[in-house]
Amino acid sequence: MDATLKKSLKARAHHVKALLQLGNKGLTPAVIAETEVALLAHELIKVKLTGIERPDRVSTANTLSAELQAEVVQIIGSTVVLYRKKPKET
């Protein structure tokens, strides 16, 4: 992801509300499935990592993005911004 796109996505994400929240159970198949649905609908989403300790947030965000072929735009505190371009409709 180039710097211009990343800067633009950060600006767009500023006003986006978190759609999903990870709890104490962490990254489960259900969370991954719900994140997939949210990315298909919105392209740019925020996920709260409330049940994750600070040192593990980056690795959890990277694992989630790898599972969904999405990009981590930024991590601020316990909030992760994910982006995946919507597939073209055929």
Give domain status of residue 45, yes or no.
yes
**In the block, residue with structure tokens 């694992």:** 63
CATH (domain of 69): 3.30.110.60
Residue 77 near residue 50 (C-beta atoms within 8 A): no
| 50: pLDDT strictly greater than 70 | yes
Rounded mean pLDDT of 52-71? 92
- The residue-averaged pLDDT of 24-49 equals 92
List, in sequence order, every residue forming a beta bridge with 67; answer none if it has no partner.
none
User: How large is the average pLDDT for residues 62-79?
Assistant: 95
90 pLDDT more than 90: no
Overall number of domains in the chain: 1
pTM of the model: 0.91
The answer to the question of residue 86 being in a domain is no
As a whole number, the mean pLDDT across the chain is 92
Instruction: Return the H-helix or E-strand segment holding 29.
Output: helix 29-42
pLDDT level of residue 23 (50, 70, 90 thresholds)? confident
CA–CA distances in Å: residue 86 to residues 25, 31, 56: 29, 19, 28
What are 86's two structure tokens?
A: 């919507």
Which residue segment(s) compose the domain that 51 sits in? 3-81
